[in-house]
């Protein structure tokens, strides 16, 4: 059986009196690639920010390895936070070298200098940026900057990686490279991955399961095979067919 890494229970999020997420229930299995699909503005980033503890839900519960994060101790919260890593749509680039950008999370965690060097070089080699460690990060191309952001996200070996539309601003060659990277990270490091994406073909290429978010509701969660062949909700079919047009 699958072991559960994260669970969201009846989660609601409102901004003012606007309910953006409505009673979301979902469970993320250890080692899976889970795709979160839904139109722009539906609340994907908001959900990611809640999962990553950057934002609090208005109602509902969040569990990480069975621990309820909304009521746990500060220590448990910090531990959970450190097991997660989030990659934003546009890579956030610090005005320093590629090495320092990737090392950042480890420096914060007060990791020893030699270990930092080893981990950074290893992460840079996984994303194909070896030899670029002394280059100013601001001079990287868009695709390279996103790969650097990946290196920064995986350098402390998180249990779960939250990828918020990581390829939406990239050209096809870089999209292919990032998709390979995502599959490789899961294969070699066993990392659980949740990816928000609009790209239905990308979902088919890399994900195990997909959840469809429409009008603030998670209308369906299903395996890749089922969601395309036999979706349970008529709105899923309409959404997928709509996305195929692009």
Ligand X SMILES: Nc1ncnc2c1ncn2[C@@H]1O[C@H](COP(=O)(O)OP(=O)(O)O)[C@@H](O)[C@H]1O
Distance of alpha carbon 146 from alpha carbon 170, whole angstroms = 9
- In the bound state with ligand X, the residue whose beta carbon lies nearer, of 42 and 182, is 42
Q: How far is the CB of 105 from ligand X (least distance, A)?
A: 23
Q: How far is the CB of 146 from Mg ion (least distance, A)?
A: 15
The gap between the terminal CA atoms of the chain, to the nearest Å, is 37
Enumerate binding residues for ligand X (CB under 6 A).
15, 20, 38, 40-46
Contact criterion met (CB below 8 Å) for 187 and 32:
no
110: part of which helix (H) or strand (E)? none
CA-based nearest residue to 50, from 84, 93, 5, 92: 84
- In the bound state with ligand X, the residue whose beta carbon lies nearer, of 83 and 168, is 168
* Binding segment toward Mg ion, per CB under 5 A, in 6-14, 39-47, 166-174, 200-208: 39-47
Residue 45 within binding range of Mg ion, rule CB under 5 A: yes
DSSP 14-66: EETTEEEEEEEEEEEETT-EEEEE--TTSSHHHHHHHHTTSS--SEEEEEETT
Binder of residue 42, out of Mg ion, ligand X, none (CB less than 5 to 8 A by kind): ligand X
Q: How far is the CB of 88 from Mg ion (least distance, A)?
A: 9
Residue nearest to Mg ion (CB): 45
Q: How many residues bind Mg ion (CB under 5 A)?
A: 2
Q: How far is the CB of 38 from ligand X (least distance, A)?
A: 6
Distance of alpha carbon 246 from alpha carbon 242, whole angstroms = 8
Distance of alpha carbon 52 from alpha carbon 217, whole angstroms = 19
Q: How far is the CB of 13 from ligand X (least distance, A)?
A: 8
Using DSSP, state whether 67 is helix, strand or coil.
strand
Binder of residue 57, out of ligand X, Mg ion, none (CB less than 5 to 8 A by kind): none
- In the bound state with ligand X, the residue whose beta carbon lies nearer, of 41 and 172, is 41
Binder of residue 41, out of Mg ion, ligand X, none (CB less than 5 to 8 A by kind): ligand X
- In the bound state with Mg ion, the residue whose beta carbon lies nearer, of 37 and 127, is 37
Distance of alpha carbon 169 from alpha carbon 88, whole angstroms = 11
Binding site for Mg ion (CB under 5 A): 44-45
């Amino acid at each position: 059986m699958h072991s559960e890494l994260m669970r969201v229970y009846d989660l609601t999020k409102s901004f003012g009196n606007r309910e953006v997420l409505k009673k979301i229930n979902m469970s993320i299995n250890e080692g899976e690639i889970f795709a979160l699909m839904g139109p722009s503005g539906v609340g994907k980033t908001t959900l990611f920010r809640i999962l990553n503890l950057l934002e609090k839900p208005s109602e509902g519960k969040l569990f990480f390895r069975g621990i309820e994060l909304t009521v746990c101790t500060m220590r448990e919260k910090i531990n959970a936070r450190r097991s997660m890593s989030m990659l934003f749509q546009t890579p956030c680039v610090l005005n320093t070298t590629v090495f320092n950008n990737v090392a950042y999370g480890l420096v914060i965690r007060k990791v020893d200098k030699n270990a930092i060097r080893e981990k950074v070089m290893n992460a840079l080699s996984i994303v194909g940026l070896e030899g670029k460690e002394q280059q100013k990060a601001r001079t990287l191309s868009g695709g390279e900057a996103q790969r650097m952001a990946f290196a920064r996200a995986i350098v402390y070996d998180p249990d779960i990686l939250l990828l918020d539309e990581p390829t939406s601003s990239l050209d096809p060659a870089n999209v292919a490279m990032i998709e390979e990277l995502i599959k490789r990270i899961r294969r070699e490091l066993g990392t659980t991955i949740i990816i928000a994406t609009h790209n239905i073909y990308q979902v088919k290429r890399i994900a195990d399961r997909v959840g469809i978010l429409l009008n603030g509701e998670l209308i369906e969660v299903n395996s890749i095979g089922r969601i395309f062949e036999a979706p349970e909700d008529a709105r899923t079919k309409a959404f997928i067919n709509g996305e195929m047009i692009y």
